[in-house]
Structure 1
């Protein structure tokens, strides 16, 4: 019996220890053998949605190199299961593992629209773009059931407040009516994440995300409807998708994107252990090569937490990646860029309708 079969449809292949817990849970081989003999499931691999009750929903972003001032997240944890996701570590604060728990224990904030409206109505609030999905994808599978993101977009539209979206799910097209209405007043900017043109790569890196074809179609449909789209080629992982930078840039430009962004993968916190375990199972033939090349981008470590260098890396491989992205921008996005969102309308609509006097 293979004591550790590959879990299809998931990124992480196990739960790792939560650094805030003294005790840990381990799936032992003798237990797996017992379950096989008894015809029982050791793990049913199902996703659970758990409601949580935050007091606020808008977060001020302190990191100087993230590119946003405020963010909000309707969900904690993400069923997309992207193996490299930096947000995995945040699940430990909720008492769960950054591994499989991050993908299978999704915390749902049903009160998010109400909390957002309360924030936008405050006399002290001055409009600045609020980015949905600063941590986890606001259009992950849970959104199809709970529609929290759509309700929040209705609030942004009601109060004429600028909003940014980061997603890799074509479900965003469900809300095209609201996005078009926001775009009329330059209140919306969308960032679509596309990390590869290969479906084989996408399936193991990002197992429950929209296909590459659907994501490119999403970029085109949004762009054709006057909604500005930036494509995030992120993260770039040496020897996995680093060779695709120019083809990715061309494909996104051909589908109407006005700009691209990128980061070089960094495996901070528990993600280093999760990624290492995953790649040795999913890509055993190149695991050591990839891990060593990631380390070469971060001074011999899988992670670099220094502001200014953590996103772009250092060394020859990082320099080659950053140069290719610069070349791609010059070749396919010259004289293009995302517009600055409108922050001037909100004050007139703070009570939900236009102030005449």
Structure 2
């Protein structure tokens, strides 16, 4: 899509309760579809369409643990109970991964959800393998482990039960106050220095949050969740992410301050990332919701990415480059230091890996041989 944002207004019709405006073609397919107005006003009629349903699709997982070697991520393994996320955050960096299963990173990502009911059993099997070495595992690194469907499926809770039995450390990042459902497990694990939780807060403006993250918990509910977690003895942090130049970045200091008041003791931030299809999705969203400043927002984004929409290089993809990005980084450093907030990186907040052990009740063929 050209940088001039020459999008037709008729094509930018938000769907109620959804973040993405469109459903881009799956990039691995040989054909593509494009919407156009045929002169009969058919695209304008989209505004009257009913809300999109959210079908659930069972996925047979091949493994529980996903591994990465990224030098700018503070963990080397993660667990993702779901593919796709009903929160509908328009900027979500996980959207392009939906193409791997044949669905669009657009509306499909937030309406066609894949769930993995066999994940807890697979996890127990993998943790029981001889030679497994425990390090903190990130729960929900790709999509939110506490999105609405978790209320009924409870796969995340079952995963936490396995991790607790094995004495395995875990870190959680979520936008949902639903994490409080598992406060009993998290309190016990935190008492053993096996768990910490980060709440992602993008904005304190409920109206803006409703547009960017239509089905995520309100900013106030996230702050309240921080407070409950902290009071229960669960180490809690805030991730101000993503910071979007010209849209929500002015809120950075206030987000950190309010989170600190709620009990957060650590903080991090990430600059908006627009890889692959996310660029189109975000441009459409900005034009639909903020037509008066969409061009300015995208220009600032390019300013922090060396003139491009995205720079994927390790070391700069999370924070950007240039004067604007440097200023944002400095603002974060000053605010975090003033508030006494440490880093969210697992390496800077070490959890105890020495307690890991295959429980006696595990099947003999799945657990490590004990030294006699």
The TM-score, its normalising length taken from structure 2, stands at 0.90
Match of 2:75 among 68, 78, 97: 68
Match of 2:118 among 91, 111, 114: 111
2:170 paired with 1:163: yes
CA-CA distance at 1:180 after TM superposition: 0.8
Moved more, 287-296 or 307-316: 307-316
Aligned residue in 2 for 1:210: 217
2:339 paired with 1:329: no
The 1:335/1:79 distance shift into structure 2, 3 A limit, reads closer
CA-CA distance at 1:349 after TM superposition: 3.6
Q: 1:121·1:351 contact (CA, 8 Å) conserved in 2?
A: no
Aligned residue in 2 for 1:9: 17
2:61 paired with 1:54: yes
2: distance between equivalents of 1:30 and 1:73?
Answer: 42
CA-CA distance at 1:124 after TM superposition: 1.6
1: distance between equivalents of 2:51 and 2:111?
Answer: 11
The 1:350/1:343 distance shift into structure 2, 3 A limit, reads farther
CA-CA distance at 1:145 after TM superposition: 1.5
2:183 paired with 1:153: no
Instruction: List alignment gaps of at least 5 residues for structure 2.
Output: 1-8, 364-369
> What pairs with 1:303-314 in structure 2 (closer than 5 Å)?
303-314=310-321
**3-state secondary structure, aligned to 1:346:** coil
1: distance between equivalents of 2:176 and 2:225?
Answer: 9
2: distance between equivalents of 1:350 and 1:47?
Answer: 41
Instruction: List alignment gaps of at least 5 residues for structure 1.
Output: none
Q: 2:10·2:44 contact (CA, 8 Å) conserved in 1?
A: no
Q: 1:132·1:138 contact (CA, 8 Å) conserved in 2?
A: yes
CA-CA distance at 1:138 after TM superposition: 0.4
Match of 2:28 among 9, 15, 20: 20
2:284 paired with 1:284: no
Aligned residue in 2 for 1:316: 323
2: distance between equivalents of 1:352 and 1:194?
Answer: 39
Count of residue pairs the alignment pairs up: 355
Aligned residue in 1 for 2:5: none
Structure 1 stretches of 4+ with a deviation exceeding 4 A read 1-4, 30-37, 41-44, 334-338, 350-353
The 1:144/1:30 distance shift into structure 2, 3 A limit, reads farther
CA-CA distance at 1:335 after TM superposition: 6.9
Deviations along 1:215-255, one digit per CA (max 9) or x if unpaired, are 00000100111111121001110111110111111101101
Q: 1:80·1:206 contact (CA, 8 Å) conserved in 2?
A: yes
CA-CA distance at 1:30 after TM superposition: 4.8
The 1:27/1:177 distance shift into structure 2, 3 A limit, reads same
Give me the CA root mean square deviation.
2.4
Aligned residue in 1 for 2:357: 347
Aligned residue in 1 for 2:260: 253
2: distance between equivalents of 1:233 and 1:335?
Answer: 14
Match of 2:95 among 88, 91, 106: 88
1: distance between equivalents of 2:175 and 2:28?
Answer: 30
The TM-score, its normalising length taken from structure 1, stands at 0.93
CA-CA distance at 1:336 after TM superposition: 8.2
1: distance between equivalents of 2:343 and 2:35?
Answer: 51
